[in-house]
Amino acid sequence: MEAIAAHSDLVDNVPQQAGAMKAAFHPLLEAREAEINSFQTKRFTFGPSERHSLDVYFPKTSDSSSAPILFFVYGGGYAEGAKVLPPPYHLIHKNVGAFFANQGLVTVISDYRLVPHIKFPDPSADIRDAFAFVHEHIDDINAGVHIKGDIDRVFFMGHSAGAAIISTMMLLPGFVPDDLRKRIQGLVLLGGAYHFRAGPPPPPVAAYYENEEGWRRNEPLALLEKASKELVRNLPPILVLVSENEPRGIAPMSHAFSKTLGEKQGAEVPVLTMKGHNHTSVAFSLFSGVGEDWAHEVVGWVKHQGQTHGQLRSKV
């Protein structure tokens, strides 16, 4: 974690920080490139554009013949990002898919459309449509693999803009059809930007929401505040995490979101801390052997939620 500490001066400069973290962690990933690439992976297209594409990573071993499905939604301020970054950083986000597959989860990483070609809520629609595709084509996805994805045990994990994308997806009334929604067993939100009440969002985010009225009305916290009792009651369990060294404002946003969620659900929703990390290191470090404790905790939570759902399903 020395590389993270060495760039503590970039805590509030996310673009420069991201560049420094890629440069720091990618050599560690390259040292394990053969292992990262050893996981069985399939690629599918689920829509008309080149951004409608997803990769599926499969575990090599598991305690059973099926495993929970984890969708990972990367960040990038709605303006950049890819399920696999271009060279010289070609192992990001392959490292994420391989890490969670190595922990026994069938892992899906989907692209989504970006600014300037989108407006609210297009990225959430793309992720929903990726889920719908996986649901509809689960037999094709599972064909020829040893550990099959269980479409009744689906989890979503989003980082930064990805956290806002999946929370928006779940908080817009009627946005996710009931037949899909009931299969989502948990959400993991990492360092999301849930409101912009302390100041306007960065230009790409402002463009995504179109104008101030748009972000005031449609930011995730606003959607949560006006969500019906029924919608909130039917939300899956939610795990909220922040890095120890987030940019100014991100941690307060997460606490505000968790506090409101807890008040509406009638139970505290804690915010957990990813020790030693900054905003961008959490994903880039996976499969490097450094700074992975938070991800192991998430895997344990996912497996517990999945087992609980499986036990309930067996009694029906």
Break the chain into its structural domains and give their ranges: 2-315
Give residue-wise pLDDT tens across range 247-260: 988 999 999 999 99
* pLDDT in the model for residue 36: 98
- Closest of 281, 260, 280 to residue 271, by C-alpha: 260
The pTM of the full predicted model, rounded to 2 decimals, is: 0.95
Pick the CATH number of 2-315 from 3.40.190.10, 3.30.410.40, 3.40.50.1820, 1.10.357.10: 3.40.50.1820
Residue with tokens 């995490």: 241
Which residues in 164-191 are b (16+ Cβ under 10 Å) and which e?
A: bbbbbbbbbeeebeeebbebbbbbbbbb
Report the distance separating Cα 190 and Cα 271, nearest Å: 10
Dihedral (C-alpha) 27, 29, 32, 36: value to the nearest 10 degrees? -150
Average pLDDT, the chain: 94
Give residue-wise pLDDT tens across range 287-308: 999 999 999 999 999 999 977 6
Report the distance separating Cα 260 and Cα 254, nearest Å: 10
Residue with tokens 């890629």: 22
* pLDDT in the model for residue 1: 78
Cβ atoms of 118 and 312 within 8 Å: the answer is no
Report the distance separating Cα 25 and Cα 18, nearest Å: 11
